[in-house]
Structure 1
Amino acid sequence: MSTSLHHRAIENLGTRIITGELPTGHIMLAEHLEEELQVSRSVVREAVRVLQSLGLVETTKRVGIRVLPPSRWNPFDSQVIRWRLSSDARGAQLRSLIELRSAVEPAAAELAANNAPAQLRRELVDIAHALRDAGHTGDAQKFLELDIAFHSVLLSGSGNEMFANLMGQVAETLTGRTVHGLMPDHPHEGALQWHVDLAEAVAAGDAATARAASEQIMRRTTSRLSGTWTDQPRVFIPVRRT
């Protein structure tokens, strides 16, 4: 099976579902997709399998492939996040991600100050200083790479494996902000310093200062981006009742 064909089929269908071009309840037939996408039945079958795993579609015997509502999508999957950030729902996706980060990262900073191994503490400080330098020079690509590394090391340093497994979601958030022009050419000086303050507090084992610096970073991020989600609806997941 051609990996590129498989990838293109997933990207085509996933993007169209997320944007609403293929709306909730829409029925697709494998033979029609085969013809439309100009791919083999095996490529269609594998693409549908992936989309099923993401909660975007379900297959029903003698009916076809049905598009599922947003409440069924896997909101933690990096592909779903990337597709939503490229859609008209970008603001809503950013809001959800920033609210998640605002809840998790200050706690991760506090835990890292208490628990991180010495190597991770040193690495976080080194990254923070390099991040500040990249911000001053306006090197957007280098800044993005370092920003992802900083927050990934912070989550890892918390010693909480569930926090650490949010690295991919944070990376997609930071990447999406850069790709879609939501980052300034030169980041806010205060935010750059807060990253350094956070790292040095973690290195010193100062949990309260580490949490406070992380909270400042997230408040600044929320303030800068809140305009992107004005009037964007929230997704309410139905409660499963026994």
Structure 2
Amino acid sequence: MTSRTGPTGAAAVFPTRIIDTLGQDIADGVLPEGSRLTIEGLQQRFGVSRTVVRDCMRVLESMNLIVPKRRIGLVVQGPGQWNVYDPRIIRWRLHGPGRADQFRSLTHLRRAVEPVAAALAARHASGAQRQRIAALGADLRRLGEAGLLEEFLDADIEFHTLVLEASGNEMFLALREVISEVLSGRTRQGLMPHHPKEHALLTHEQVATAIRDGDAGTAEACMGSLLAEVSEAID
């Protein structure tokens, strides 16, 4: 059996579990702002080496969840300091008591970005991108009507990611993991109806058709309508 602190197997997974445990505790407020962590205390808690703890703390520090302070230790930072676009932080927040607020914030972000991305995609998408987006629009209709939520989720993530990519705006594309997390979160936490609403299926098809046909105005309006419905559902 592989040791927790060995080079392979469970050892490769265990640091991720430490990061997830502490990240979730910070996101949930179990470790509120100002809480003090020490390397020694974490060694005892998780039963791992000092090196493993330090490596995990560097990851949390890179997300601005903690900050090292001399003669104090590792201090938990408040939400205003966090790298809120990090997909792991989004995932933790969606699994915590602030889930509704996180969904709301993410949907506001999507409403600000994705309609513009759809309009740009209608103008700038390649022929292959247009055809794939159109095919995904049809797939979403078929999978949604069949109640195949896992397959629907995969197609939905690809659809929205491809719209961002086809926009030609690299800053929009950088949000692909953020949008993937919010789409996954809705499904994984049972917030999606077993059969997606007709409005959602129709507006996906309309966005896809408009992008395929190069109709920027319709693509933007229909994506806006789609996300307005999502916002209402979350509220």
- Place the TM-score, normalised by the shorter chain, in its bin: over 0.9
For 1:184-203, list aligned pairs within 5 A: 184-203=193-212
Residue 86 of structure 1 is matched in structure 2 by 95
Does 2:121 match 1:121? no
User: How far apart are 1:38 and its partner, in Å?
Assistant: 1.1
Residue 153 of structure 2 is matched in structure 1 by 144
Does 2:182 match 1:173? yes
User: How far apart are 1:139 and its partner, in Å?
Assistant: 0.4
SS in 1 for 2:122: helix
8 Å Cα contact 1:5-1:39 kept in structure 2: no
SS in 1 for 2:20: helix
Does 2:56 match 1:67? no
Residue 214 of structure 1 is matched in structure 2 by 223
Does 2:27 match 1:15? no
Aligned-residue Cα RMSD (Å) equals 0.7
Residue 154 of structure 1 is matched in structure 2 by 163
User: How far apart are 1:170 and its partner, in Å?
Assistant: 0.3
Residue 120 of structure 2 is matched in structure 1 by 111
User: How far apart are 1:219 and its partner, in Å?
Assistant: 0.7
Q: Deviations over 1:143-190 (max 9, x none)?
A: 100110110000101000000111100000000001111100000112
8 Å Cα contact 1:109-1:211 kept in structure 2: yes
8 Å Cα contact 1:134-1:143 kept in structure 2: yes
User: How far apart are 1:39 and its partner, in Å?
Assistant: 1.2
Residue 37 of structure 1 is matched in structure 2 by 46
8 Å Cα contact 1:5-1:43 kept in structure 2: no
AA of the residue aligned to 1:197: Q
Q: Deviations over 1:47-82 (max 9, x none)?
A: 100000001000112210100000000010000000
Q: How far apart, CA to CA, are the structure 2 residues paired with 1:187 and 1:8?
A: 34
User: How far apart are 1:222 and its partner, in Å?
Assistant: 0.5
User: How far apart are 1:5 and its partner, in Å?
Assistant: 1.5
Query: Which residues of structure 2 form unaligned runs of 5+?
Result: 1-6
Residue 230 of structure 1 is matched in structure 2 by none
Q: Deviations over 1:22-46 (max 9, x none)?
A: 1100101100100001111111101
Q: How far apart, CA to CA, are the structure 1 residues paired with 2:82 and 2:51?
A: 23
AA of the residue aligned to 1:47: C
Residue 64 of structure 2 is matched in structure 1 by 55
AA of the residue aligned to 1:209: T
8 Å Cα contact 1:56-1:72 kept in structure 2: yes
Q: How far apart, CA to CA, are the structure 2 residues paired with 1:207 and 1:29?
A: 54
SS in 1 for 2:190: coil
AA of the residue aligned to 2:165: S
SS in 2 for 1:59: strand
User: How far apart are 1:3 and its partner, in Å?
Assistant: 1.6
8 Å Cα contact 1:148-1:174 kept in structure 2: yes
User: What is the count of residue pairs matched by the alignment?
Assistant: 226
Q: How far apart, CA to CA, are the structure 2 residues paired with 1:14 and 1:3?
A: 18
